[in-house]
Amino acid sequence: MILVPAKLFRQTFLFVVFVAMTITVFAQKDVTIKLKSNQILVIGETMTMSKNDTIIVVPKGTDYQIYDSKYVLSDGFYDSIYSRAQRRRLTKELYNLLITNRPPQNGIKNKEPIESEDFFDGFEGKTITSIKYKPVELFGGSVRDTTLVATSNLGKFTNRLHQETRRDVIFKHLLFDIGDALDAYALADTERIIRSLSYIEDARIYVRLNPEDLNTVEVTIVAKDRFPWSVNFAYDNNGTTRVGFTNQNILGSGNEASVGYLRNQNEVPQQGYDASYTMRSIDDTFIDGTVYVSDSFNGRT
């Protein structure tokens, strides 16, 4: 039997532990990604577009892709806001408060405009193999960075109550489908149409190369809803007052409902109500239909 001195045993044990911890640390070492200004980082279902050069740390082994993006708010964009804001004192003060990227004070230079279809030119002709929809949070969310979420308790509470626009509602407006050869104009027009919807605040379409087949692409539509509720107040020359509530995106359907209370002291009866319901994009078309009912001093309709 061989006896090992206690001191040597402790030193050997500590050395083995140190080596094991070192191997573990290196095995779990994070990966540092250097994201340049206006590049897009795609990790799984999330997209992040950096306005400035950024360093992002992700766990080792994370599958990610980086694309150059032309989604840039050029100086011409801010120049346009600047020139309009200077017309009134109130808008001028709001501009100084809210806008940090400002044109130089010694003059405004016109910039060459970027066509919206240019964003997708690099993928022209490639086959679309999948179309995904990713809504971002009503408060705190951003179509530029799908990882952003609400941080305030009020924002979190409101997001839980809000019903996001449904996938089938957004897909009604697509001008392309799975299996199509990517058409830059079709994607640009689709993005414009979705962004113009009254219940959508902003929208972006991202295209990702399929790493297993570089002749195919995956399309992701990212959209942010507009706050659906509004309060309406109106008063006409006949003495009629109307107070109403409108929800322009009922349960994420894209349909609008409105109810109102009417009152006129010069009429009999003095009060009444009206209501309306608007169905948008009936049968996957661009046709809307509205049903209106009223019971007041003006009669029933």
Average pLDDT on 106-120 reads: 56
Q: Choose among 219, 199, 197, 215: nearest CA to 207.
A: 219
Average pLDDT, the chain: 80
Higher pLDDT pick, 70 / 131: 131
Average pLDDT on 115-124 reads: 80
User: Which residues on neighbouring strands pair with residue 276, listed in sequence order?
Assistant: 258, 292
List the domain boundaries for the chain. Answer: 6-68, 74-113, 118-225, 229-300
pLDDT tens track for 199-251 = 999 999 999 999 899 999 999 999 999 999 999 999 998 889 999 999 999 99
What percent of the chain is modeled with pLDDT above 90?
A: 49
Across 25-34, 73-82, 278-287, which has the greatest mean pLDDT?
278-287
Higher pLDDT pick, 76 / 219: 219
Predicted local distance difference test score (pLDDT) of residue 168: 96
Q: Choose among 236, 239, 235, 301: nearest CA to 274.
A: 301
Amino acid found at 58: V
pLDDT category, 61, cuts 50, 70, 90? confident
Q: Which two tokens stand for residue 114?
A: 């970027």
Average pLDDT on 60-74 reads: 64
Sheet with 65-68, side-by-side order of all strands: 46-49, 39-43, 65-68
pLDDT over 90 (residue 156): yes
Predicted local distance difference test score (pLDDT) of residue 76: 45
- Classify domain 118-225 at the CATH topology level: Ubiquitin-like (UB roll) (3.10.20)
Predicted local distance difference test score (pLDDT) of residue 174: 96
The lowest-confidence range among 29-38, 68-77, 187-196 is: 68-77
- Interatomic CA distance for residues 258 and 244, integer angstroms: 7
What percent of the chain is modeled with pLDDT above 70?
A: 72
pLDDT over 90 (residue 160): yes
pLDDT category, 96, cuts 50, 70, 90? low
pLDDT over 70 (residue 69): no
Predicted local distance difference test score (pLDDT) of residue 22: 55
CA atoms within 13 A on the CB side of 120: 27
> Residues 156, 219: contact at Cβ < 8 Å?
no
